[in-house]
Structure 1
Amino acid sequence: MTYTQEIVSGAVKAFVWRRGIADQKGLWAAEIAMLVFLVGLLWSGERGWLVGVVGVVVLLVPCLIGAMWVAHHRNTVGKFRRMSSPRANFVFGEDGFEVVSELGEARLPWSTVTEIWERPGYWMLFTDPNQFMTLPVQTVSEEDRAFLRSRLSSAVRPKA
C-alpha cells in the first residue's frame, strides 16, 4: 500500500483535531473561563502578578495543542519522508496482521487495536490513545475491508 503526503498529514490533523480539540470539551470550557477571568482582571485595571499567572495559564492550552501537533507531525510525516519508497506491505491473517516497510516490520494481534478511525482514503488503527498506525485503503477491496472490520469488531469506532 502506498502512502502519500496527503494521507500522513491528514492523519496528524485528524488526530490533533479530535484528541486535542474536539474531545477536550472540559479543557476548553476551563480555557474560556480563564480567558474571561483574565479579561475581567485587565478590565478592572489589575496589572499585578495574578494577571501574569492567569495569562500563562491561558496560553498553556494552545501551546500544548501546538506541541501535540509538532510531536505527531515530526513522527508521522518524518517517517514518511525517510522512506525512499513510501510503501508498506500489510498481511492480514486470522490471528493478526503484519506490516513491513523499509523502516522495519511489526506483527500485531488483532486485540492490540483498540480504536479505528475510518477516514476517506485511509484508516487510523490505534494501539494506544495516542499511538496510531495509518493504513491507506484506497487499493483495499471492499471484501478485505469487511474482513478487517470483522477482525476489529471489538475496537471502538467513534462517531465522525
Structure 2
Amino acid sequence: MAATLCYLVARGDRSWFVGVLAATVALGGIFPAVHFVLSLRSSLRKLTAMRNPEASFRADADSFSIASELGSATLPWTAVQQLWRYQDFWIIVLARTSQITLPLARMTQEDQAFVVSRVAANGGKVGT
C-alpha cells in the first residue's frame, strides 16, 4: 500500500482515494506503535508495584514453572512455539501475544542446554 501511495503521489494524483490510502498507511504504522507503548507501560506499572520484583523459573522434563508474588503458572513444553536467544536473555514465545523473558545471568550453560533441548524436542523453534 505504501508503494502504491508513493507511486500515486509521484504521478501528481491528489484524489480522495490517495487521502484514504495515506490515512490507512499512517494508521497501519501508528497502531502497532501505540500497542507497544501501552503494553510496555502496563508491564512496567506491574513491575514497579511489586515489593520484590523477582520471579523464579523451574524446568523439568515435561514442563516448566514460573512464579512471582503476583502468581505462578506451570506449562508443558509443548506450549512453547519459539525460543529467541539473545546474549543476556531469552524470550520464550508461547503465543503471538504471550512471551516470557528469561534472564541468563543465573542460568548455567547446562540449564540453558536443557531448555533448548526441551523446546526443540517438543516442536518449538529455536532461534539464535
Using the size of structure 1 for normalisation, the TM-score is: 0.69
Distance 2:43 2:53 in 1: 12
In the alignment, does 2:71 pair up with 1:104?
yes
Q: 2:110 maps to what in 1?
A: 143
Correspondence list, 1:76-87, <5 A: 76-87=43-54
- One-letter amino acid matched to 1:140: M
- One-letter amino acid matched to 1:84: R
Match of 1:89 among 51, 56, 66: 56
| Unmatched 5+ stretches in structure 1 | 1-29
Structure 1 stretches of 4+ with a deviation exceeding 6 A read none
SS across alignment from 1:87: coil
- Sequence identity of aligned pairs in percent? 31
SS across alignment from 2:100: strand
Asked if structure 2 preserves the Cα contact closer than 8 Å seen for 1:34 and 1:58, the reply is: no
Deviation of 1:38 after TM superposition, in Å, equals 4.7
Q: 1:34 maps to what in 2?
A: 4
Range moving further from structure 2, 133-142 or 63-72: 63-72
Deviation of 1:150 after TM superposition, in Å, equals 1.1
Structure with larger RCO (C-alpha < 8 A, sep 6+):
1
Distance 1:65 1:38 in 2: 25
Distance 2:126 2:45 in 1: 27
Give the strand-richer structure, 1 or 2: 2
In the alignment, does 2:95 pair up with 1:128?
yes
RMSD: 1.9
Q: 1:6 maps to what in 2?
A: none
